[in-house]
Amino acid sequence: MPQPRFNIEKCRQILIKYWGFDVFRPLQEDIISSIAAGRDTLGLMPTGGGKSVTFQVPAIASEGICLVITPLIALMKEQVSRLNRMEIKAASIHSAMSAEEIDNALENCIYGDYKFLYVSPERVATPLFRAKAGRLNLSLVAVDEAHCISQWGYDFRPSYLKIASLRDLIPDDVPFLALTATATGQVIDDIMEKLEFREKNVLRTSFARKNINYFVRQVEEKGTYLFKALQSYKGSGIVYVRSRKRSKEVAISLSENGINADFYHAGLDDEMRDRKQASWSSGETRVIVATNAFGMGIDKPDVRFVIHWDIPDCIENYFQESGRAGRDGKPAYAVLLYSPADKNRLTDSLRQKFPPVEKIKDTYEALCNFLQVPYGAGKDNVFDFSIQDFVSRYRLPVIETFNSLAFLQREGYVEFTEEINNPSRVRFVVGRDDLYKFQVSNESFDGFIKLVLRSYSGMFTEFVAINEESLARKAAISRDTVYQFLVKLSAMNIIRYIPGRKTALVIFPEERLVRKALMISPDNYHHVREKYMYRLEKMIDYAESDNRCRSVVLLDYFGEESGRCGICDVCRERNELDLSKYEFDLILNEIKEILARQKCDALELASKVGHDDEKVVKVIRWLLDHNKIVSGSDRLLSWKEHDLFTR
């Protein structure tokens, strides 16, 4: 039997030293033990379950470097920054970096004592990365957001399909760890197949969140309900909305009515977003009204409520976002506000979500022209991209264009990143001795260079993020003067200076194609549309159902069987019958069996059920109220056929 790759006891000591915990959370130790045995592993852990610990702890305990593949650049940067603050060397590679920065980062990881290299998936297949990947002393390959590899999933990214090709470049004994918070059975199988697992190996904890009270409230005046709800709920929470405009409007309305609230969306600059999140995390702000841009990297255990003003378009998103409540295990609420208008909006969004194929091709050609990409060129090129400028120049409808671009990404013709605020970066390209000689002979630069060296470290080995305004304040000079110093030093080949920018990016995985070579098959188009419709229908069913336990509905979607939670709005209504869960289910099952065989009136039905008549009548009345059984014109009761085998 092969020896473990590292010692589990050592992992516990690392957990204590760096994270301050003396025991692992459920499933964490199982995943780490599986990695220690060298096994490819798929870990299914709900939101807030501590996924990063499952690869960060064993990587620190092992010789070599852990390769982490994640599509979320902001999260990548946050985790690299956190590891470096812990004095654990980590680097990242993503499409917002120059070729020189990427090459520098790879060389540092090959020759330095780095423990982590974070890489965005579209970089994995590039010639530069592949040329050097085999020289990395890898201990583990961790694939975060692993559901993105599956075409059955809700967030498919073609670049994930190229991850398995790494196996040709690295030793056979390097295990792969795939992690995701939400995956159906079909997606689970797809992940292991597409990552070429050497054996099937799924470790999962129950998705059940027994402390969360799931409620659906059918309301027309959402603002009025929200205000009253926040008056009754204790503690802090999140209100999710679909648009940036609404996040601000709702937050202002709450503030004007005495609720301590703020708003958050991706259009805010990084400093503002960090400040708002820190204020909410510390408890200074009670309620954050946010788009789905809020949530990444949240580590606040005492969130008492998550309220969705707008219905998400799939259960995966709803489950992940609502799961940010109650991570401390104490009671919490996940409330969905729903109205008939929401269903109409979702139906309309279906039409907008899938523009005609010819419109998608029009968008591709317009994009290539906008970015000035010639036919047969552009492979692996990265471009700054503003969708506002794009739709404005070509007078395109915003939503249809956005969804056309999303479909082009799904088909693998382009890749997009979220808007990235990349700070300015500097690296010295001369050694310390040559720099000293330069300072002696160029006195006008001496003071500025000393200021930079006092303010930042590590600039002789890697690109370091700098802040021109901070340098200007320290030197009591203007920001423009700092900029001019940096530009001149760069022109003199003393430093490499990359000015900061805030932009989304477009990457071309392949060269630009002529229109007739752009293959978007009608079958695939309709297949994707049908899968989206299925997820949409399941979300609407959850919102409109009033006779199945909310938790049962959610867990059933992910293929997990469970009994009623007893605390959601549906279960609470049952509980008001003064019947225990056991009694209710027992009577329910007997009624179901009787009505499956024959119709009968209420009195006859009550006499056939072997329980107290009063209790049976309560259950019959509840079933009638919730349309589980129906009464015909002859007053005979029957079980609704499509509900015959549902709880």
pLDDT tens-digit profile of 396-418?
A: 998 899 999 988 998 889 998 87
**pLDDT at 225 (0 to 100):** 92
Asked if the structure places residue 35 within a domain, the reply is yes
Give the separation between CA 622 and CA 400, rounded to whole angstroms.
Answer: 45
Q: Domain boundary residue among 451, 485, 518? A: 518
Indicate if 252 and 278 belong to the same structural domain: yes
Looking from the CA of 240 toward its CB, the CA atoms found within 13 Å total 26
Tell me, what's the pLDDT at 119?
Answer: 96
Confidence of residue 547 (pLDDT cuts 50, 70, 90): confident
Residue 647 pLDDT > 50, yes or no? no
Q: Per-residue pLDDT tens for 101-159? A: 999 999 999 998 899 999 999 999 899 999 999 999 999 999 999 999 998 777 888 99
Q: Do 234 and 156 fall within a single domain?
A: no
The pLDDT-based confidence of 262 (bands split at 50, 70, 90) is very high
CA-to-CA distance for 193 and 190, rounded, in angstroms?
Answer: 5
238 and 306 in contact (C-beta within 8 Å)? yes
Q: What is the 3-state secondary structure (H, E, C) of 370-414?
A: HCCCCCCCCCCCEEEECHHHHHHHHCCCHHHHHHHHHHHHHCCCC
Lowest mean pLDDT of 65-69, 128-132, 395-399, 499-503, name the range. 499-503
Question: Does residue 275 belong to any structural domain of this protein?
Answer: yes
As given in the structure block, the two tokens for residue 547 are: 């006779």
**Domain shared by 327 and 356, yes or no:** no
pLDDT at 48 over 60: yes
Q: What is the CATH number of the domain that holds 509?
A: 1.10.10.10
How far apart, in whole angstroms, are the C-alpha atoms of residue 90 and residue 119? Answer: 11
Q: Binning pLDDT at 50, 70 and 90, where does residue 645 land?
A: very low
Mean pLDDT of 345-354: 82
Residues pairing with 333 in the sheet: 213, 305
Q: For residues 65 and 111, state if they share a domain.
A: yes
- Determine, yes or no, domain membership for 534: no
| Contact (CB, 8 A) for 65 and 115 | yes
Per-residue pLDDT reduced to its tens digit, 286-302:
999 999 888 766 778 89
Q: Can you give the pLDDT at residue 644? A: 38
Same domain? 510 vs 494: no
Same domain, 267 and 135: no
**Amino acid identity, position 2:** P
pLDDT at 576: 64
Q: In this structure, are 491 and 511 located in the same domain?
A: no
How many distinct structural domains can be found in the chain?
Answer: 5
503 neighbors 386 (Cβ within 8 angstroms): yes
User: What is the bridge-based pairing of β-strands 212-218 and 332-338?
Assistant: parallel
Q: To the nearest 10°, the Cα dihedral for 213, 218, 220, 224?
A: -20
Question: 101 Cβ partners below 8 Å, 6+ apart?
Answer: 425, 463, 498
* pLDDT value for 344: 85
Predicted confidence (pLDDT) at residue 589 exceeds the cutoff of 60: yes
Q: Is the pLDDT of residue 2 over 70?
A: no
Rounded to a whole number of angstroms, the CA Rg of the chain reads: 28
Whether residues 428 and 414 share a domain: the answer is no
From residue 315, alpha-carbon distances to 537, 553, 601 in Å are 10, 10, 39
Dihedral of alpha carbons 543, 544, 546, 551, sign:
negative
Tokens of 491: 């022109």
| Mean pLDDT, residues 531-535 taken together | 89
What the block records as the tokens of 461 is 């080995």
Contact between 71 and 157 (Cβ < 8 Å): yes
Cα(292)–Cα(480) distance, integer angstroms: 36
Tell me what pLDDT residue 1 has: 42
The answer to whether 367 and 515 have CB atoms below 8 angstroms apart is no
Q: What's the maximum distance between 2 C-alpha atoms anywhere in the chain?
A: 106
**Domain contains 97:** yes
Q: How far is CA 408 from CA 121, 332, 452, in A?
A: 17, 40, 44
- Tell whether 352 is covered by a domain: yes
pLDDT confidence tier of residue 641, bands split at 50, 70 and 90:
low
Q: Token pair for residue 128?
A: 């530069």
- Indicate which CATH number applies to the domain containing 300: 3.40.50.300
Measured between alpha carbons, how far is residue 215 from residues 210, 225, 337 in Å?
A: 14, 13, 9
Please give the span between the terminal C-alpha atoms of the chain, in angstroms, as a whole number: 47
Residues 101 and 38 in one domain: yes
Quick one: pLDDT at residue 84? Answer: 92
Residue 645 has which token pair?
A: 């085998």
pLDDT at residue 434 above 90? Answer: yes
pLDDT of residue 441: 94
Question: Based on the domain organization, do 309 and 353 belong to the same domain?
Answer: no
C-beta separation of 287 from 260 below 8 A: yes
Banded pLDDT at 420 (limits 50, 70, 90): confident
Return the percentage of the chain with pLDDT > 70, whole number.
Answer: 97
Residue 239 and residue 333 in contact, taking contact as beta carbons nearer than 8 Å: no
* 632's tokens: 């015909």
Q: Would you say 562 and 208 are in contact if contact means Cβ atoms under 8 Å apart? A: yes
Digit-coded pLDDT (tens) for 450-468: 999 999 999 999 999 999 9
469 and 397 share a domain?
no
| Rounded average pLDDT over 259-270 | 88
Residues 176 and 27 in one domain: yes
| Predicted pLDDT at 595 | 86
Q: Where are the beta strands (DSSP E) in 111-184?
A: 116-119, 138-143, 176-180
How much helix, strand and coil, in percent to the nearest 5, is found in the chain? 50, 15, 35
The string of pLDDT tens digits covering residues 175-227 is: 999 999 888 888 999 999 999 999 999 999 888 889 999 999 999 899 999 99
pLDDT at residue number 305:
96
Determine the structural domain holding residue 478 and report its residue range: 424-499
pLDDT for residue 303? 94
- Mean pLDDT, residues 481-510 taken together: 93
Residue 79 lies in a domain: yes
Q: Kindly state whether residue 63 falls inside one of the protein's structural domains.
A: yes
> pLDDT confidence of 279, banded at 50, 70, 90?
very high
Q: Which amino acid is at 182?
A: T
In a domain, residue 513? The reply is: yes
Least confident of 38-42, 505-509, 529-533, 584-588: 584-588
